[in-house]
Amino acid sequence: MIYLNPDQQRILKWRINSGGIAGVIGPPGCGKTTFGALQAIKLVSEGYANRVLLVALTNSAANEFSRELSIVLGPDASKFMCVRSGYAPGADNSLPIPFSNELDVIKKKQIVICTTQSLKRLSRKSSPVRFDNMIIDEAGIERLEHLLSPFVLGINQLGVQMMKESIGYGINSIIELASTCGVVATVVGDPKQSRPIRSEDYDLSAIEWVLKCAKCDTLYTTYRLPDDLAMLVNEFAGYQGLTSAPEIAGRRLVVDCNTIDKEFRNIINPDKVVTWLDLDGTEEMAGPSSWYNDLEARACVRICHEIKKVAPSKSIMVVTRYAEQRRIVSKYLQQLGLGVRVMTTVGALGTQSDIVIFTIVRNNPERRIGAIGSLQDLNVAISRSKEKLIIVGSFDMMLNAKPRLHNLGVQPKHNFPQKLAQLVSKEKYGEIVEAPPILH
């Protein structure tokens, strides 16, 4: 028996009883992937669809779909009903769901999992596979053109015929065109967590297109963020109602304070879910567009080392906006042999850890915050943690940040770094601690 919360029940009912294309917004930890897998199972098991396609942009996200399906269906049923298709080396072979690119095999299965890039294998002109329902994950990072690959597999020629006969309908966008051609798709994502890579400020992401042209609903219950962090994220990103699931609301880092080195006691402080370590490091340019901050990198590694000492079973993740900072932190961690993941904000999408350390990197007298000043990057960085979030970087830099101007020199409407600093500084959602001498 699968338990669904009221949001999930409402959205599932709505999507089963309605056709066309629709959007589901999933704030951090609200179980977007789980919901997608459940929806697919419900659709095929209750006869609402013959064949459902689950699509994600990356192989790791597609594997997450497979994992969720395997858990819910069990090994035998998932092996019988599902197939993973696409790029073979990218598929997780440890899961019971078989892999195949053979159209004959795929056509016999009811749930097909694939990445966007590999869908071309299913759309062979001679014998395309058709899906009467599809769920598309991570649509915040995709662009509209990415959505069209799965949509092609959902075209219903009967719908096209009907459309020709009633040409009076107003179709003003590609989404509306696909919808009226019989494509049934639930596009899942969160425009407040991700933006398409390298897109201009004025470009809409795939999920934003769907929100603009179709109906949408939101999942509001997070299964990742404890109460304080959920409230901080809710207020920061303006989700208007994100709350912790009751069973995880009071979750805290459990560690004996006396075992923590006194220099790190305030930083790891288990009573506070959010701690901001105010550290005045120096930013350095690297690569064509990246940055690093050596002092912050070393501080992150030392904190990781201390946490591993007092809470060895806890998973730790260091998050940064910049690839170069990730490289430097990884290099230091490699030297110490600590099993800690280091991710960029893009890579961290869809992942979580017990403890997250977010390194800001940028710190300059002009207070130019650059790319880390975006809502999406900050939101991802602060919303990966299940028990404790430690922000490492200059507090003053964030409080007085000058966000990057939009194209054509337009001042952005919101100053998100400042908003985050203000929310933490009120001590409502966390505390700011000075860096101990050992970290300088």
Amino acid 255 reads: V
CB 259: neighbour CB atoms within 10 A? 12
For position 334 contacting other proteins by CB under 8 A, the verdict is: yes
The interface mask with other proteins, positions 49-88, x = CB under 8 A, is --------------------------------------xx
User: For other proteins, which residue of 89, 337, 365, 409 counts as binding (CB under 8 A)?
Assistant: 89
Please report, for residues 96, 364, 374, 418, the alpha-carbon distance to residue 406 in angstroms, rounded to integers and kept in the order given: 47, 20, 11, 17
- Asked whether the beta carbons of 80 and 113 are under 8 A apart, the reply is no
Site residues for other proteins, 199-258, by CB under 8 A, read 203
User: For other proteins, which residue of 35, 151, 220, 332 counts as binding (CB under 8 A)?
Assistant: 151
For position 195 contacting other proteins by CB under 8 A, the verdict is: no
Please report, for residues 37, 51, 144, 150, the alpha-carbon distance to residue 83 in angstroms, rounded to integers and kept in the order given: 13, 11, 26, 16
Shortest Å distance, C-beta 157 to other proteins? 10
- Asked whether the beta carbons of 27 and 229 are under 8 A apart, the reply is no
Residue 291 pairs with which residues in a beta bridge?
285
What is the distance between the alpha carbons of residues 103 and 323, in angstroms, rounded to a whole number?
Answer: 39
What is the distance between the alpha carbons of residues 64 and 396, in angstroms, rounded to a whole number?
Answer: 39
For position 327 contacting other proteins by CB under 8 A, the verdict is: yes
Considering beta carbons, is residue 230 or 372 the nearer one to other proteins?
372
For position 149 contacting other proteins by CB under 8 A, the verdict is: yes
For position 289 contacting other proteins by CB under 8 A, the verdict is: yes
Shortest Å distance, C-beta 116 to other proteins? 9
Site residues for other proteins, 92-121, by CB under 8 A, read 99-102, 117, 120
Please report, for residues 52, 318, 359, the alpha-carbon distance to residue 17 in angstroms, rounded to integers and kept in the order given: 15, 42, 45
How many residues touch other proteins (CB under 8 A)? 48
User: For other proteins, which residue of 16, 216, 323, 399 counts as binding (CB under 8 A)?
Assistant: 323
Considering beta carbons, is residue 331 or 414 the nearer one to other proteins?
331
The interface mask with other proteins, positions 160-189, x = CB under 8 A, is x--xx--x--xxxxx--xx--x--------
Residue 114 pairs with which residues in a beta bridge?
55
For position 408 contacting other proteins by CB under 8 A, the verdict is: no
Shortest Å distance, C-beta 320 to other proteins? 12
Considering beta carbons, is residue 160 or 438 the nearer one to other proteins?
160
What is the distance between the alpha carbons of residues 143 and 157, in angstroms, rounded to a whole number?
Answer: 25
What is the distance between the alpha carbons of residues 134 and 184, in angstroms, rounded to a whole number?
Answer: 6
Q: How many CA atoms lie within 13 A of 244 on its CB side?
A: 21
User: For other proteins, which residue of 16, 71, 155, 346 counts as binding (CB under 8 A)?
Assistant: 155
**Helix (H) and strand (E) counts in the chain:** 16, 19
Considering beta carbons, is residue 102 or 434 the nearer one to other proteins?
102
For position 152 contacting other proteins by CB under 8 A, the verdict is: yes
Residue 99, both tokens: 């892999």
User: For other proteins, which residue of 246, 250, 287, 339 counts as binding (CB under 8 A)?
Assistant: 287
- Round to the nearest angstrom and report the end-to-end CA distance of the chain: 53
What is the distance between the alpha carbons of residues 55 and 48, in angstroms, rounded to a whole number?
Answer: 19
For position 365 contacting other proteins by CB under 8 A, the verdict is: no
Shortest Å distance, C-beta 428 to other proteins? 37
What is the distance between the alpha carbons of residues 278 and 436, in angstroms, rounded to a whole number?
Answer: 10
Tell the burial category of 145 from Cβ atoms under 10 Å away from its Cβ (0-12, 13-18, 19+): exposed
**What's the Rg (C-alpha) of the chain?**
23
For position 45 contacting other proteins by CB under 8 A, the verdict is: no
Considering beta carbons, is residue 199 or 259 the nearer one to other proteins?
199
User: For other proteins, which residue of 146, 224, 386, 388 counts as binding (CB under 8 A)?
Assistant: 146
Shortest Å distance, C-beta 289 to other proteins? 7
SS3 292: strand
Considering beta carbons, is residue 43 or 181 the nearer one to other proteins?
181
Residue 434 pairs with which residues in a beta bridge?
278
For position 288 contacting other proteins by CB under 8 A, the verdict is: yes
| Chain residues in the site for other proteins (CB under 8 A) | 87-89, 99-102, 117, 120, 123-126, 143-146, 148-149, 151-152, 155, 160, 163-164, 167, 170-174, 177-178, 181, 198, 203, 285-289, 323-324, 326-327, 330-331, 334
